[in-house]
């Protein structure tokens, strides 16, 4: 097959299954959490629609997860931590001077949908 014959196709996820979620009362709390779970290394958070969050996907290397992804367009997030943060800011600095970067994902329709779903879970 010639490279010029390669077809590029967009196939977004059809479903994201959140297995566990935790609401943090402030952006500082979720920043502290992200820093701790990353072992004190720089960990990033995502922001969209007034929600800052972090998620952990189930590896698609498991047979069931891979089958669901390929056949059903379904992915599993084992954990989502989130907090409300009305305005985007590129870094959250905690009172302990922990600096956690925040990535603005508001241009991504999937992240916007997730953020709006999370707001309703609070």
pTM above 0.95, yes or no: no
Instruction: Give the separation between CA 119 and CA 57, rounded to whole angstroms.
Output: 20
- Six token digits for residue 120: 């309703």
Residue 40 — very low, low, confident or very high, per pLDDT cuts 50/70/90? low
Mean of all residue pLDDT scores within the chain: 90
In the predicted structure, residue 35 carries a pLDDT above the cut 80: yes
Instruction: Give the separation between CA 80 and CA 78, rounded to whole angstroms.
Output: 7
- Six token digits for residue 36: 């701790």
In the predicted structure, residue 29 carries a pLDDT above the cut 70: yes
Q: How many CB atoms lie within 10 A of CB 91?
A: 10
Handedness of CA 15, 19, 24, 30 (dihedral sign): negative
- Six token digits for residue 53: 């969050």
């Amino acid at each position: 097959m010639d490279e010029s014959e390669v077809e590029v196709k967009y196939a977004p996820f059809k479903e994201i299954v959140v297995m566990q979620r935790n609401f943090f009362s402030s952006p500082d709390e979720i920043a502290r959490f992200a820093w701790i779970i990353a072992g004190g290394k720089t960990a990033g958070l995502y922001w969209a629609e007034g929600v800052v969050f972090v998620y952990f996907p189930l590896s698609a290397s498991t047979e069931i997860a891979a089958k669901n992804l390929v056949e059903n367009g379904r992915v599993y997030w084992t954990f989502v931590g989130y907090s409300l943060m009305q305005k985007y800011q590129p870094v959250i600095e905690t009172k302990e001077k922990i600096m956690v970067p925040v990535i603005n994902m508001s241009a991504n329709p999937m992240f916007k949908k997730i953020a709006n779903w999370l707001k309703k879970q609070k």
